[in-house]
Chains A and B, each alone.
Chain A
Amino acid sequence: MRKDRVINQNKVAKLSDITRLIKDGGRVAIGGAWLSSHPMAIIRQIIRSKIKHLSLITILGSVDIDLMIGAGCVDRLMFSFVSMEAYGLAPNFRRAIEKEGLAYDEITGLAIILGFEAAGRGVPFLPYRGPFGSDYLEQRPEFYKTINCPFTGEEMIAVPAIKPDVAIIHAQRADPAGNIQIEGTGGSDLELAKAAEKVIVTVEEIVPTEVLRENPYKTKIPRFYVDMVIEQPFGAHPTSSIPSYVGDPWHMLTYMEMAASPDTFKQYLDDYVMTSEDEYLEAVGGLEQMNLLKKLAEEVKLL
């Protein structure tokens, strides 16, 4: 455990401070899953800061990964799944692999999670009953090694520890010391935080520690895993941050339209990313749109 993380009880920073921890050529793990809880404000800031040659790791990625690939920040990608789900296949991700030969490691989701868990526990690998019969084993033998259980002799698959330089995560709430509350869709954000050398978290709100103590069971990542917290309301937009707000389907449609070709995607970056975060939120509909997304998260119909 690193002492500085424990001693430092004020990790509050600004979005522009991420360049202190995310460097050119860094290995960055992205939190969230599907179209939920991705740290989108940090991702836009990475693009604005012109950080390049990143090696990204995602378990279940979507617009987070597609945006960074399209902006030219990525040299290599480790993933189990990158999809815009109901909106279609990820356009920049497809172009980069089909036409531009982006280097990538396609690993099963379980293997990536186990790799993070191994790193978090301080062991070099973890075994499981691996994806026998699939082509993953042959395609990426450096990630899947056959071993025999030392007790029963059973054949197992070992996956190596995965150690990102930085994990970036978006969550509901934090205190200045970096205790993180996650209320909705969690992905494997805790395992990312355990595995990474440095951890940056954006949250909807920063509150005094006493507020977290009122609902301690919501605190999923304690402060000894966290280096920097940034208050960034709607920092997951256009993905969701349940229970605060739903993902923004209107903006996702705009994104898909503009990401369809490299020219229009360049325009997307100019209009929505190469501005400030405040200008971004204004451009996607401002307060009125944010209130609508909140309302849609509240008014659900259970049967």
Chain B
Amino acid sequence: MKEYAQDYSTAELVCVAVAREIEDGDILILGSFTPLAFVSYILAKLTHAPNVMYMAYSSVDAKPFQLSFAGYEAAATKGGVARWNMTECINSLYLGIGVDVEPVSSIQADQYGNINISVVGDYEKPVLRGPGGAGAPEVVKMHRKMIGYFPNHSKRTLVPKVDFVTGTRWKISNEARTKAGLRPGPLKYITNLAILTKDEEDKPFKIESVHPGVSIDQVIENTGFELTVPKDVPETEKPTKEQVRLLREKIDPYGIVAFDFMSGKDRPAYLKQILDREVKALAY
């Protein structure tokens, strides 16, 4: 019998929702430092998916580790069984045997399964110059599952059409993907309000579930494109007591995952506080 937690944050709920998308046997990649992705992988590995294998920085098959803001890369590296540089990783995993999932976030995402991490506005004279895609074109299209996570579900983020297609799912239905030589798998946007999923090229995203306390209208009002609303929309499964305990006591005792859900303005002060605690915990 699963015992569900009553006390959990939105960050924890989203983290658990992403972890649920990870199946045992998956190959995962940790790209740039996104606390939510790190924590979700480690949670999955410590619970329902003990045999997943992940690449983090140059570390192959890293052991699960306690997240620390200063030490995440050192921890991921120390627990690895091999070292592969970025080229080896890309050539073998992205292009070779294939990755199962690598959650991504973006400035914009649209109704077609396109994401934009490049520019808002005109390409040559952008209002906002974003970081750029890095591996996103391959991550979104070629990985078996496409899991986008969005800490701020709004019409600014979930738009009808992205300003620049940095990455695209390209082929969506199982049939279209198989025909194009791509492995079939889900296309989902996991947000702070709901989980949206798209199965067919010519059908809109549908609401798979809404988070506890969120109404369907709230999801529709904050989405910039048409959604299919099934007759019965379930509530997103809550985190269990055990998942919340693992997150708070073992995986992320400093609460770093909350970071993804904060405004840029609030981040530095929060970060300083985490760093103070990490330094105090050192055995001096």
A282 to B84 Cα, complex, angstroms = 34
Cβ of B23 within 8 Å of any chain A Cβ, yes or no, is: no
Min distance, Cβ B33 to any Cβ of chain A, angstroms = 5
A16-24, A160-168, A242-250: which one contacts chain B?
A: A242-250
Interface size on B, residues (CB 8 A): 67
Across the interface, which residues of B come within 8 angstroms of A293, CB to CB?
70
Across the interface, which residues of B come within 8 angstroms of A108, CB to CB?
133-138
Across the interface, which residues of A come within 8 angstroms of B49, CB to CB?
none
Closest B residue to A97 by CB, please name it.
B129
Q: Contact between B132 and A82 (Cβ–Cβ < 8 Å)?
A: yes
Cβ of A1 within 8 Å of any chain B Cβ, yes or no, is: no
Q: Contact between B131 and A81 (Cβ–Cβ < 8 Å)?
A: yes
Query: Which A177-233 residues sit within 8 Å CB-CB of chain B?
Result: 182-191, 220
Across the interface, which residues of B come within 8 angstroms of A187, CB to CB?
85-86
Cβ of B225 within 8 Å of any chain A Cβ, yes or no, is: no
- Kindly supply a per-residue 1/0 record for chain A positions 234-277, scoring 1 wherever the CB is within 8 Å of any chain B CB and 0 otherwise: 00000010110011011001001100000000000000000000
Across the interface, which residues of B come within 8 angstroms of A302, CB to CB?
63-66, 75, 78-79
Across the interface, which residues of A come within 8 angstroms of B156, CB to CB?
none
Q: A246-B71, A296-B70 are in contact. Are A34 and B129 (CB under 8 A)?
A: no
From A135, A185, A220, residue with most partner B Cβ within 10 Å: A135
Cβ of B74 within 8 Å of any chain A Cβ, yes or no, is: yes
Cross-interface CB contact of A80 among B68, B77, B133, B267, cutoff 8 Å: B133
Closest B residue to A239 by CB, please name it.
B73
Across the interface, which residues of B come within 8 angstroms of A34, CB to CB?
32-33, 57
- Kindly supply a per-residue 1/0 record for chain A positions 31-73, scoring 1 wherever the CB is within 8 Å of any chain B CB and 0 otherwise: 0011110000000000000000000000110000000000000
Cβ of B123 within 8 Å of any chain A Cβ, yes or no, is: yes
A175 to B167 Cα, complex, angstroms = 43
Q: Contact between B33 and A106 (Cβ–Cβ < 8 Å)?
A: no
Across the interface, which residues of A come within 8 angstroms of B108, CB to CB?
none
Closest B residue to A33 by CB, please name it.
B86
Please count the residue pairs between chain A and chain B whose beta carbons lie under 8 angstroms apart in the complex.
199
A202 to B54 Cα, complex, angstroms = 30
Cross-interface CB contact of A303 among B42, B95, B136, B267, cutoff 8 Å: B42
Q: Contact between A59 and B86 (Cβ–Cβ < 8 Å)?
A: yes
Query: Which B72-122 residues sit within 8 Å CB-CB of chain A?
Result: 73-75, 77-79, 83-87, 90, 94-95, 118
From A33, A80, A86, A97, residue with most partner B Cβ within 10 Å: A86
Cβ of A131 within 8 Å of any chain B Cβ, yes or no, is: yes
Across the interface, which residues of A come within 8 angstroms of B78, CB to CB?
243, 300, 302
A300 to B86 Cα, complex, angstroms = 23
Cβ of A148 within 8 Å of any chain B Cβ, yes or no, is: no
Cβ of B230 within 8 Å of any chain A Cβ, yes or no, is: no
Cβ of B196 within 8 Å of any chain A Cβ, yes or no, is: no
A297 to B71 Cα, complex, angstroms = 6
Cβ of B220 within 8 Å of any chain A Cβ, yes or no, is: no
Query: Which B31-78 residues sit within 8 Å CB-CB of chain A?
Result: 32-33, 35, 42, 46, 57-58, 63-66, 68-71, 73-75, 77-78
From A34, A101, A189, residue with most partner B Cβ within 10 Å: A34
Interface residues on A, range: 35 or more
Cross-interface CB contact of B65 among A81, A101, A113, A301, cutoff 8 Å: A301
From A97, A109, A132, A191, residue with most partner B Cβ within 10 Å: A109
- Kindly supply a per-residue 1/0 record for chain A positions 83-125, scoring 1 wherever the CB is within 8 Å of any chain B CB and 0 otherwise: 1011111100110011001000010111001000100000000
Q: A36-B73, A185-B77, A256-B268 are in contact. Are A81 and B133 (CB under 8 A)?
A: yes
A79 to B210 Cα, complex, angstroms = 38
Cβ of B272 within 8 Å of any chain A Cβ, yes or no, is: yes
Q: Which 6 A-B pairs have the closest CB atoms?
A: A186-B85, A83-B131, A300-B75, A131-B137, A81-B134, A301-B66
Chain A residues packing against B (C-beta within 8 Å): 33-36, 59-60, 79-83, 85-90, 93-94, 97-98, 101, 106, 108-110, 113, 117, 128-129, 131-136, 139, 182-191, 220, 240, 242-243, 246-247, 249-250, 253, 256-257, 292-293, 295-303
Chain B residues packing against A (C-beta within 8 Å): 32-33, 35, 42, 46, 57-58, 63-66, 68-71, 73-75, 77-79, 83-87, 90, 94-95, 118, 123, 125-138, 141-142, 164-168, 170, 250-251, 259, 264, 267-268, 271-272, 275, 278-279, 282-284
Give 29 CB contacts A-B under 8 Å.
A34-B33, A60-B134, A80-B135, A82-B132, A83-B132, A101-B125, A108-B134, A109-B134, A109-B135, A110-B94, A110-B135, A113-B87, A117-B87, A132-B170, A136-B137, A185-B57, A185-B58, A190-B87, A242-B57, A243-B74, A249-B271, A296-B74, A296-B282, A297-B71, A300-B66, A301-B75, A302-B64, A303-B46, A303-B66
